[in-house]
Structure 1
């Protein structure tokens, strides 16, 4: 069996090979373009997002307040110009779902605020900047409603509640605890009743709109049906709508003035797409304009929030470019120039035979095929604790270690030296930490001055809370091991038979993210064609939605890994940098079920 021992054969035309004494001029110029171009893109995207969300004189405040049992709570408060203590405006409590934060509700909040409503976009307990654990104090919704009602520029007789997914249970709990404190409620991809909310009745919640998508991933837990398209036939829904026949979509049941009005909408989207659907957002707008008095009515389809989403997505792309440009620029400093020296001599690219192609396919498929089984096992073996406070990060960490072990076994079988190229540990760590620290500071500055994070959809970078930061180091160790082994296996076993930057970038993106693209294609193909996901465990739909993150994250990891490896011929600089950013991404994007 042929042994794969080369570390840097893919670098035949790299600065590391061409100029062992330091980075070459061509790559230095490219680094400057990435650094400053990325910074300009970040600022342009963030400014676009800021001006859209504050259009018409809306002010956004980052508010912190104390909830039940002294729990620190967090929210974004959107205040339209028309809302004053002399002219109080209608108010809306808007709450995100599991694994999200207050920013996930920005599409709804922007449109509500444009129509003259004061909006409190709440971080649930254990999410964002609200203290863990998740699920505590009825998810924090009662505290949020109390805070909203305490504001002197809010009309306390015209308050609406809106929640997505678990955020729906949050506002239903608030409605039950304070039955006279609101006038209307919108459930987006959510429900009344078990497992986490009071049961709905013909007159509770007051003036209810249910927006439940035709391809929602959670039909069973929400409305006790097999497929979301059948929600109109849910007997649980019938009891809320006071009917014994399938509910007609778009028809108002009951009486708005009496508080018994109900309406059902079923847009042709999935559960997480409720966040970015003009239709789903439009239904919420329309219902509150029917049920709340005051504000500045606009047509439901008059929406601008997508430009804010575009701005934060642009900023996110710019952030990646900035970080890579910064890393490459730092390589020009004398202290880091030794990282640009190849660890071993170059070797010619080898022919791509059947075994190589089989390895490519296995490298793409194994991480995706092991995702659900290893996450399930990780959840059982590593429940949330003080040391590891986030259940689903624990699951992903367990999956990562499992795949690292598989890669190590394969490396040993084919005779590759596992630790070759793992030198310059200190310099690799320092350059990664500086890159991370400066990039983190940029994100924090943008959030402080513009009240904007770097996001697209439910995927985001934002500064960590104190609780998230305390959990960060432990998870960082796990992902550092994972990426070190992943990059070592990838470049030693596959990269040596690819020449040229384009080929290596393409190969890396395909192997790192391609399996998850296929996995999600199968799952959502099943959902779109058969109206059911392929699932075997109650948390599988959540995990499948989490897997959507792996496509852009692993594609970005592949790009960053190749970018750095071509300049250093080493595994550790790329592994440390990717571990820092992915751990950051994980801890700010997942719930904390335990307090660190």
Structure 2
């Protein structure tokens, strides 16, 4: 009964969250959103979401904005900006960069897709081609600057969010180029050195690069207008107090972009920049994401009561885990080894000279895979050393280590995990069909996979499966929390214990990096990109901890939780990463 209620509650949360997100995305149903595909340079298929406000028709064309996300994000990441632009009467094309989302690879190709996005936007009869703005976050800013360079007469204004001119192929900024340049560069932006040659976000005002783009040889004054909108030489710097990825969740940053476009484009409805509803989109998608996880847990438990899976329900094996001080050593190693190896193992493919290939086509995914496999090997070695040096004498068996049942149990556990995974995927597909939403919060995105991404998913899945099988062995066989008499603790306590072991180290890593950054210093270890990626490990490993504890307690083995975690995490990573190999 409890599992059925969990299942129903999860479904209701998915419905509620999707409705909230849809309502914000469409401004109460007044804005139409289309999932569009078009051909770009060299036959590259491009993907985008097209936001159409009610005032935009062929008879009354409206101003338009090309909104482009940053590296290892997708078109939905720009939803906060797209929603607020569209509410003010602008047609918005939220583009998937090349190699991202559903746009064809390779990543970085064709000016990141920026020129193709601008060219497509200008073909729409609902667009006033004399009033087009470009808005891009991070690498999307470079795509916007490249688009401005390729089509210098086809846009009127540009807003760079956490981005710059003159970086990674984007043309250098001058007092005249790009036209009507607005810059949002946050005080805690992790990429200040890359973007503007400044060790800190607040220091960009003193850099020669920004001053050249603003046509001055003095420190740039935040909030001051430079140049002239009429002449196309206007420049203005905004500095909200947030981080680089925080630009997506910051009302000030989004309001700054809205303000700049309202000043430099004609035809908007004049809605105040502070009037914002995008937050409901983020909250709604988060609710739907939580609902999906809960529904998957409930669905899995219900399947275990069916005739085919009922023999997977086994007693919880007696704990033959670490005890005393050794257990605390095990806890500390579990918490800190993953973060000690975090940068090294993820950078190892580059250090070994590996480049994107047909088998390992996503650079960031390959780095995470190296981290996962490396930590799996370390954990397995430590587990075997512990077993053979101190635990074999306790007569521990494979059942005590949650490995019992034989081939039949392993196979059925895989089928069970696959069924739960398919159910969660079905919920996402259904929400996308009905509400045009995915499940996400901020940069943690649960997206449908394209056909190519599904192939890539299958290629990476065995490596992540190895990691999660070893992780299950360590959690259940070595570190499982028990009462003083050796009996099992409550399920909720076990979930919290596993989640703590998996995510606490990443909280420490982020604290070590961000406390200095937020007090005026650069990131101590550098590694801006991988530091931002680390944020995603916390919610994703929280879900893993829940899967691992729940299905161990329901089946007495590690297999279902490990297989499901591997499928889920590989799905999320592959669908959300850039594909660098040109298939």
* TM, length-normalised to structure 2: 0.94
Q: Does 1:591 align with 2:574?
A: no
Would the aligned equivalents of 1:91 and 1:155 in 2 still touch at CA under 8 Å? yes
Would the aligned equivalents of 2:64 and 2:128 in 1 still touch at CA under 8 Å? yes
For the structure 1 residues 496 and 292, does the alpha-carbon distance in structure 2 shift closer, same or farther, using more than 3 Å as the test? closer
Taking the TM superposition and a 5 Å limit, the aligned residue runs for 1:52-451 are 52-55=24-27, 57-342=30-315, 344=317, 346-347=318-319, 352-381=323-352, 382-415=354-387, 420-421=403-404, 423=406, 424-451=409-436
Distance 1:305 1:341 in 2: 47
Deviations 1:501-549 (A, max 9, x none): 233122111111111111111111121124311225xxx2111110110
Would the aligned equivalents of 2:293 and 2:424 in 1 still touch at CA under 8 Å? no
Distance 1:590 1:436 in 2: 20
Q: How far has the Cα of 1:351 moved from its partner?
A: 8.8
Give 3-state SS (helix, strand or coil) of 1:495's partner: coil
Distance 2:507 2:92 in 1: 37
Deviations 1:215-235 (A, max 9, x none): 000111100111111011011
Among 18, 22, 29, the alignment partner of 1:50 is 22
Would the aligned equivalents of 1:267 and 1:279 in 2 still touch at CA under 8 Å? yes
Q: How far has the Cα of 1:350 moved from its partner?
A: 7.5
Distance 1:535 1:386 in 2: 32
State the number of aligned residues: 563
1:580 corresponding residue in structure 2: 567
Distance 2:5 2:355 in 1: 45
CA RMSD of aligned residues (A): 1.4
Would the aligned equivalents of 2:50 and 2:92 in 1 still touch at CA under 8 Å? yes
Q: Does 1:553 align with 2:525?
A: no
Deviations 1:420-466 (A, max 9, x none): 33631110110111111121111011112211000100111111012
Would the aligned equivalents of 1:351 and 1:497 in 2 still touch at CA under 8 Å? no
Q: How far has the Cα of 1:343 moved from its partner?
A: 7.6
1:453 corresponding residue in structure 2: 438
Distance 1:403 1:422 in 2: 26
Q: How far has the Cα of 1:116 moved from its partner?
A: 0.2
Q: Does 1:518 align with 2:497?
A: no
Q: How far has the Cα of 1:30 moved from its partner?
A: 1.5
Distance 2:493 2:281 in 1: 35
Would the aligned equivalents of 2:369 and 2:464 in 1 still touch at CA under 8 Å? yes
Deviations 1:246-277 (A, max 9, x none): 01110110000000000001111000000111
1:13 corresponding residue in structure 2: none
Would the aligned equivalents of 1:107 and 1:281 in 2 still touch at CA under 8 Å? yes
Unaligned runs of 5+ in 1: 1-28
* TM, length-normalised to structure 1: 0.92
Q: How far has the Cα of 1:341 moved from its partner?
A: 1.6
For the structure 1 residues 341 and 257, does the alpha-carbon distance in structure 2 shift closer, same or farther, using more than 3 Å as the test? same
Give 3-state SS (helix, strand or coil) of 1:311's partner: helix
Unaligned runs of 5+ in 2: 392-396, 484-488
Q: How far has the Cα of 1:172 moved from its partner?
A: 0.3
Give 3-state SS (helix, strand or coil) of 1:455's partner: strand
Q: How far has the Cα of 1:592 moved from its partner?
A: 0.8
Distance 2:157 2:321 in 1: 67
Moved more, 420-429 or 145-154: 420-429
1:489 corresponding residue in structure 2: 474
Distance 2:96 2:88 in 1: 22
Distance 1:555 1:198 in 2: 42
Among 475, 486, 507, the alignment partner of 2:497 is 507
Distance 2:160 2:405 in 1: 52
For the structure 1 residues 154 and 422, does the alpha-carbon distance in structure 2 shift closer, same or farther, using more than 3 Å as the test? farther
